[in-house]
Amino acid sequence: MDRRKFFKRAFLGLTGLGIVSGLYAWQIEPFWLEFVKIKMPIKNLPTDLVGKTLMQISDIHIGERFDYHFIINSFIKAKELNPDFVVYTGDYVNLNKDKVFYKELEEVLTNAVKGKLGTFGILGNHDYGRNWKQSEVADKISAMFEQQGVKMLRNANAEVSGLNFIGFDDLWGQNFNPQQAMANFDKSKANIVLCHNPDVCDLDVWGEYDSWILSGHTHGGQVKPPFLPPPMLPVQNKNYTAGQIKLSNNRTLYINRALGHLWQVRFNVRPEITIFELAKA
């Protein structure tokens, strides 16, 4: 083979590989749901909750940037796992200028996954509308979830069957108040914090808290080149990508990779629903 033919074939091969990779990242991986199963050891967990399951769903981003029926179909699959607890950790809509896709979100929420023992949610930055400053959008989305049986924790806590859920409102939103959220924190209880943006983990708001923190927000970057970190992450702490991360004071952070997408592209970062199996620490 002469030099010219070699470079021509190499170019065509790379072009073909690029096309295939692009189609995969656009049409396959964004809809290739993964159920991630993880043990969750919790201090002070009541014995009768050992072995129970907690499902985390995050960042569904209902709008027009991808077919939201993927979220509905994912919820149908998730219901088959019959979780004991379900938590939703924010970012339920995508915006188009000032349009919020309430009708589409309502359709999705009629199929919402709910826990046998309890179902809770918090808000993310996108739930505060344009520039994260429209509190009326957050209030309406919260009401829609409440109507479907999801207890929204806006700087509040709720205890069910001996497991206490503490919900932080979003760091970038109009109602971020971690002191209020932690006001009734009791270290002697079994506790889980729901906090959309993992950057909050680095703020001086935690006191003696030493349990799990469930977050979303990053989507794992949505695109992660092999052996390299994601090139784009919407957090200050670039260690906060996805998965389980040990923090100071025996805290454990888990960042869900998101079920939906900000844009319909994923590579090496599949959409995720997380299933935690509760255990005694």
- Tens digit of pLDDT for each residue in 217-252? 999 999 999 989 999 999 999 999 999 999 999 999
Which stretches of the chain are DSSP H helices?
A: 3-23, 69-79, 102-109, 135-147, 178-181
Query: Are residue 7 and residue 61 in the same domain, yes or no?
Result: no
CATH of the domain at 60: 3.60.21
Query: Are residue 66 and residue 200 in the same domain, yes or no?
Result: yes
Rounded to an integer, the average pLDDT of 23-30 is 95
Asked whether the predicted pLDDT for residue 2 surpasses 70, the reply is no
Asked whether the predicted pLDDT for residue 115 surpasses 50, the reply is yes
Rounded to an integer, the average pLDDT of 267-281 is 98
Query: Are residue 27 and residue 96 in the same domain, yes or no?
Result: no
Query: Are residue 79 and residue 145 in the same domain, yes or no?
Result: yes
> Is the Cβ–Cβ distance between 186 and 28 less than 8 Å?
no
Query: Are residue 202 and residue 123 in the same domain, yes or no?
Result: yes
Residue 160 — φ and ψ, nearest 5°? -135, 125
Quick one: pLDDT at residue 7? 39
Query: Are residue 167 and residue 109 in the same domain, yes or no?
Result: yes
Rounded to an integer, the average pLDDT of 82-91 is 98
Query: Are residue 160 and residue 21 in the same domain, yes or no?
Result: no
Instruction: For residues 8 and 253, give the distance between their C-alpha atoms in angstroms, rounded to a whole number.
Output: 49
Rounded to an integer, the average pLDDT of 17-46 is 90
Residue 16 — φ and ψ, nearest 5°? -65, -40
User: Which residues form the domain of 259?
Assistant: 33-280
pTM of the predicted structure, to 2 decimals: 0.93
Rounded to an integer, the average pLDDT of 182-199 is 97
Number of independent structural domains in the chain: 2
Asked whether the predicted pLDDT for residue 10 surpasses 50, the reply is no
Query: Are residue 11 and residue 146 in the same domain, yes or no?
Result: no
- Residue 18: pLDDT band (50, 70, 90) is low
Query: Are residue 108 and residue 22 in the same domain, yes or no?
Result: no
Query: Are residue 153 and residue 200 in the same domain, yes or no?
Result: yes
Query: Are residue 126 and residue 7 in the same domain, yes or no?
Result: no
Residue 253 — φ and ψ, nearest 5°? -100, 135
